[in-house]
Structure 1
């Protein structure tokens, strides 16, 4: 971590405006946003001594053990009439331990150590904050800063459990360096096992991390870690923001997971939800002090009509303290390496993206519909994270295409490192649902994959957890459907459906990987064509875990073709690791031939050839090449080990000719089988990057 400083450089809006001249009419909007950002940092400096101390508020709020084993408790409950602490330690007495009211809605309580000098509240004790309201109500609440919450077997309501182990887990391994090419394995700990139960942090550490390393992914994005009472919410209805979900194990077991990932050279991102919070009151933030507006906007502005959740008031000083300290907590306590911010679109606009189809008209990104409080919060969060942790990675989930989202704050941007290319999976699903193979539009596929804002990094993905959910289908299921249950054995002849599915599954993933962005994401299990959708236990399925799991056991049966898809995914990542196309500049597309169903492009001095035609193979197909030399096959989706037909000889050397083609000075002649993707590299080029 670097020495923190609140100094903000002079904004360089000209960089952004030169990159996209269409933004010029909105220069004053950028100036105003940046001015609001500067004002927020100035106030933090003036009132709190800077963001470094402000974001360490998790060290003073909630419960803290002092050097002498005394305990201090601190809460913000501006609407409360009185606060008391109750729990195991005092026999659940509601009045014996009152908090003292301080200024600005703060409440404090001090508990000296016992006579034996041990803490007054032992490790794993259950606690509650008793809130007395001005209306005469008595409410039982969990501290918003609780570090651990858990349920008992006979209850669905979470308890605040005092987490203060005598020997806390100490991280051994340093954070790995920030990857140049980001290859993300999107993961959910609870479903990371073939067993019909909630899987554990330890299971993930022992059984899944080695697979991720073997596959060549260098980043894990952990979903559903912030505690959520409703398992089927996929972690997006957070109840306790500082607590790692206890359904998978203890905080120390999560720390060990991250530590082991770091030992393997894998960075770990947290799927952070600061866009909204659960409606729960007994075990959530909602109405913590009895009022409607403690952490949230009151009235309709404080509720998300589609998600049924509460919306934060980003203009509130104490809400900023809570959320910014929350980011710092996950970085410091658990040593995460960054965040994927969920629901960014909802934070950027007053309409939250509900019922809004973004057309790309720039007026949609400015004006009164923009929630500048939410926007400035994201600017401040990114600025603080990247100042304190230069290698921190932040990804924004925004469907609107807000310009500047992934440009530096000093340029007038929002400061994210990457945005999710959310149009790509939608395009693949649309193609598979609506078009015959012979009607696929090569130009439209290329357009979707390359259509991103210049200078703003994107994470490309063919499918994520969204496409795996019940009600939709994974790519493998769209391609092969019910035959996945009966015809995936390599001991029987490959059916036409399985043949098509296997070949297109690989091609779709490789072209997305190589053309669609500056990073790549895969949802766990989809790399090997997981045969079923994802559905969490709920009343509608009789609380079944049958679909809330990932069947990694299928990979242990070598004659099943899932192994072949797994092997291709592994080789795809390893080939990228060698040539570095994700971290290179944009691809040059030299061919998108509609009749041939062929797409050809160069990126990172590597030639990619895709023949999507269902039946036509091409002998001596001329392919454009920028560099003269001898080319060889480095990745071939038609290899038998990948479920292909083995129609190519990898000893073949393709020598370039000085015959210009499609704006390239050279070309090579290549045999391109139907439904095959090839990666060619020039043997005479140094690929160190």
Structure 2
């Protein structure tokens, strides 16, 4: 094939030339899959609409409700619940030739018993016995607080009145400034937060902070709260522990009114193995939704692995995507565990230190195809929808268009950045920090793929790990954050916290992410109620009173975060071309660069300040300080006069006073 005919990923990334057959095959399989989908369903939108067929629906033309379930290996299904006094044998379902089961309930006969809020289950007789199950496409699931019994719940609420028709995600797509959050732990109370509380109390904080996108975790129903929402049982049910579906819709609608996009953390990488609540062995077989045997078990996560090659599984997952986008007006997804999806080994115990590992027999080509189809659907439904991949392997082309030979995500998470900060803080003294390594780690990414940079996410906040603030300040945070006292550990921690977050924001990607509360240095890890902590909510909440207290330094960190997010917004920093290095001094720990017309000068030196430090500027003229981390309002020491202007000399340098552990942002006057 001539070079001009090569797909863009090969043509532009010449280091992938030897893998052209694999990349071409990936593209060809996608095209063939689309042709088959078009032949089977007409188009991918229809292919992804089986949620409108399966589950419980009112059919006006038949004047009644129909419930359908796909369970090909089952011997018999019975629909039961409040409507028939929980009689497991009174309502048998009929099976079709392709493994679908169906029952029809006439309106006139059941209008007083088959009602909004009543509970239902399906009794499945199969090779694994006679078991009560939750319908696979159920829209709401509730758990009894005393018995912990789980049941599906009929939800026939009136249609929600959306007012977000004029909302657009153009700002989020251009440069996503993401506020990652969890509704349940978003309040200060010792309990589970609700959608309504989040709308009334937390959304205004996010708006004031300047973020343009929310990333919501733990939306899909999960029986164990402590799983952080990652052991999903009911894929079409928003978790009822936070409130009703209408309250979730109201929360999203309010975010849109505020100009904030809402991205959902979607878990298609695995599913809970529980038989009572989830999909596992639904029809009695182990390979209905999942791979059989060891291939269908995720050893690290103790969960089940989807068979992405199976048409019915593809339709289940793709319909799930369409459902959340259309029913709840989500603006896109952050796909969890993409590494686990793409490889048979799930990325476990792998360093991905060879390019061969991206294209060898351990790549699950069916799973990669599923991700391509998912991205096609997401963007066909609305070109402004956002898709983000969480992948630690570095798969080439992950965030490139499918037509280029990619997998089609809009962004990829820069997962190496927080790992770099953890390793640096754990294993190096301040004077050992390597400026060359810092620059490399924050800028070394595929130029044709957009990344979401972040210093820490929920992963770094979990119990057993430490937040950035706690890693910097340890227990001193609990006793020495008052404005009225001095503490060297806290001084160092706050200074570095500010520098790390700004340099990550401006160098680390084309988007940026912060986990709820970490912007002001929330002191505690996240630990959900469990037996090991006596079911305490102490660490499954956010202590907003800390940032609201004018006598504590948390508020000053929050002020800094607002300032840097505003800077990124006003100057479209992350939508601009990558930063250009101006100066790197390994001994002075100085790093200076230009991005979007602004000059950033970082000093990571632990003790020494520099007078008359020359910084070479490409554009001669007069410069003023736009942002200075040493200001008192940012918990600094006011060692600089921000009103002073600086002029380039005959060598086209400006000479600055740069205090230790400080960053200056300058703009041409």
- Is the TM-score greater than 0.5? yes
Corresponding residue of 2:633: 641
| Cα deviation code 1:540-568 (max 9, x no counterpart) | 11111111111111122111000000000
Shift of 1:134: 4.7
Please give the alpha-carbon distance, in whole angstroms, between the structure 2 residues aligned to 1:103 and 1:599.
Answer: 68
SS at match of 2:253: helix
Q: Where does 1:212-251 land on structure 2 (aligned, <5 Å)?
A: 212-251=206-245
Stretches of structure 2 that go unaligned for 5 or more consecutive residues are none
Corresponding residue of 1:36: 29
| 1:19 alignment partner, one of 12, 19, 28 | 12
Corresponding residue of 1:562: 554
Corresponding residue of 2:473: 480
Corresponding residue of 2:663: 677
| 2:327 alignment partner, one of 333, 350, 369 | 333
| 2:445 alignment partner, one of 449, 452, 457 | 452
SS at match of 2:78: strand
Shift of 1:636: 1.1
Q: Is 1:172 the counterpart of 2:163 in the alignment? A: yes
| 2:570 alignment partner, one of 556, 565, 578 | 578
SS at match of 1:347: helix
Corresponding residue of 2:372: 379
| Cα deviation code 1:209-230 (max 9, x no counterpart) | 1111111100000001111111
Q: TM-score by structure 1 length?
A: 0.94
Classify 1:407/1:658 alpha carbon distance in 2 versus 1 (closer, same or farther; 3 Å): farther
Corresponding residue of 1:662: none
- Checking the alignment, whether the CA contact within 8 Å between 1:71 and 1:120 is kept in structure 2 is no
Higher mean C-alpha deviation, range 156-165 or range 513-522:
156-165
Shift of 1:417: 0.7
Corresponding residue of 1:6: none
SS at match of 1:582: helix
- Checking the alignment, whether the CA contact within 8 Å between 1:157 and 1:283 is kept in structure 2 is no
Q: TM-score by structure 2 length?
A: 0.97
SS at match of 2:574: coil
| 2:653 alignment partner, one of 660, 667, 681 | 667
- Checking the alignment, whether the CA contact within 8 Å between 2:127 and 2:285 is kept in structure 1 is no
Corresponding residue of 1:541: 533
Please give the alpha-carbon distance, in whole angstroms, between the structure 1 residues aligned to 2:114 and 2:615.
Answer: 72
Shift of 1:310: 0.3
Classify 1:491/1:288 alpha carbon distance in 2 versus 1 (closer, same or farther; 3 Å): same
Please give the alpha-carbon distance, in whole angstroms, between the structure 1 residues aligned to 2:650 and 2:310.
Answer: 65
Corresponding residue of 1:309: 303
Q: Is 1:110 the counterpart of 2:96 in the alignment? A: no
| Cα deviation code 1:553-596 (max 9, x no counterpart) | 11221110000000000010001111111111111112221110
| Cα deviation code 1:305-329 (max 9, x no counterpart) | 1111000001111101100000000
Q: Where does 1:353-432 land on structure 2 (aligned, <5 Å)?
A: 353-359=347-353, 361-432=354-425
Please give the alpha-carbon distance, in whole angstroms, between the structure 2 residues aligned to 1:613 and 1:111.
Answer: 74
Corresponding residue of 1:97: 91
Shift of 1:157: 3.5
Corresponding residue of 1:611: 603
| Cα deviation code 1:384-408 (max 9, x no counterpart) | 2112210011110110000000110
Shift of 1:91: 0.9
- Checking the alignment, whether the CA contact within 8 Å between 1:113 and 1:120 is kept in structure 2 is no
Shift of 1:132: 1.3
- Checking the alignment, whether the CA contact within 8 Å between 1:19 and 1:454 is kept in structure 2 is no
- Checking the alignment, whether the CA contact within 8 Å between 1:621 and 1:670 is kept in structure 2 is yes
Higher mean C-alpha deviation, range 58-67 or range 480-489:
58-67
- Checking the alignment, whether the CA contact within 8 Å between 2:7 and 2:405 is kept in structure 1 is no
- Checking the alignment, whether the CA contact within 8 Å between 1:84 and 1:129 is kept in structure 2 is yes
Q: Is 1:497 the counterpart of 2:483 in the alignment? A: no
Please give the alpha-carbon distance, in whole angstroms, between the structure 1 residues aligned to 2:435 and 2:464.
Answer: 28
- Checking the alignment, whether the CA contact within 8 Å between 1:139 and 1:290 is kept in structure 2 is no
Please give the alpha-carbon distance, in whole angstroms, between the structure 2 residues aligned to 1:170 and 1:39.
Answer: 40
Shift of 1:674: 0.9
Aligned length: 662
Stretches of structure 1 that go unaligned for 5 or more consecutive residues are 1-10, 660-665, 684-689
Shift of 1:193: 0.9
Shift of 1:120: 5.4
Please give the alpha-carbon distance, in whole angstroms, between the structure 1 residues aligned to 2:200 and 2:130.
Answer: 46
SS at match of 1:104: coil
Please give the alpha-carbon distance, in whole angstroms, between the structure 2 residues aligned to 1:602 and 1:502.
Answer: 24
After the TM superposition, list the runs of 4 or more consecutive aligned residues in structure 1 that deviate by more than 6 angstroms.
none
| Cα deviation code 1:486-525 (max 9, x no counterpart) | 1101022x21111101111000000000001000000000
Shift of 1:441: 0.8
Q: Is 1:84 the counterpart of 2:75 in the alignment? A: no
Classify 1:294/1:648 alpha carbon distance in 2 versus 1 (closer, same or farther; 3 Å): same
Please give the alpha-carbon distance, in whole angstroms, between the structure 1 residues aligned to 2:169 and 2:337.
Answer: 27
Shift of 1:444: 0.8
Q: Is 1:260 the counterpart of 2:251 in the alignment? A: no
Please give the alpha-carbon distance, in whole angstroms, between the structure 2 residues aligned to 1:30 and 1:13.
Answer: 10
Aligned CA RMSD, in angstroms, stands at 1.4
SS at match of 2:535: coil
Shift of 1:657: 3.3
Higher mean C-alpha deviation, range 623-632 or range 117-126:
117-126
Classify 1:609/1:368 alpha carbon distance in 2 versus 1 (closer, same or farther; 3 Å): same
Shift of 1:280: 0.9
| Cα deviation code 1:239-279 (max 9, x no counterpart) | 00000011111111111110000000000100000010001
Higher mean C-alpha deviation, range 41-50 or range 391-400:
41-50
| Cα deviation code 1:413-438 (max 9, x no counterpart) | 00001111111111111111111111
| 1:524 alignment partner, one of 499, 512, 516 | 516
Shift of 1:12: 7.0
Shift of 1:658: 4.8
Shift of 1:13: 4.5
Higher mean C-alpha deviation, range 510-519 or range 11-20:
11-20
| 1:150 alignment partner, one of 142, 155, 159 | 142
Please give the alpha-carbon distance, in whole angstroms, between the structure 1 residues aligned to 2:361 and 2:657.
Answer: 57
- Checking the alignment, whether the CA contact within 8 Å between 2:529 and 2:537 is kept in structure 1 is yes
Classify 1:235/1:242 alpha carbon distance in 2 versus 1 (closer, same or farther; 3 Å): same
- Checking the alignment, whether the CA contact within 8 Å between 2:169 and 2:331 is kept in structure 1 is no
Shift of 1:656: 2.3
Q: Is 1:462 the counterpart of 2:455 in the alignment? A: yes
Corresponding residue of 2:590: 598
Please give the alpha-carbon distance, in whole angstroms, between the structure 2 residues aligned to 1:396 and 1:12.
Answer: 28
- Checking the alignment, whether the CA contact within 8 Å between 1:575 and 1:634 is kept in structure 2 is no
- Checking the alignment, whether the CA contact within 8 Å between 2:169 and 2:385 is kept in structure 1 is no
- Checking the alignment, whether the CA contact within 8 Å between 2:226 and 2:530 is kept in structure 1 is yes
SS at match of 1:31: helix
SS at match of 1:30: helix
| Cα deviation code 1:29-66 (max 9, x no counterpart) | 11111111112111111111211112122111100112
Q: Where does 1:176-187 land on structure 2 (aligned, <5 Å)?
A: 176-179=168-171, 180-187=174-181
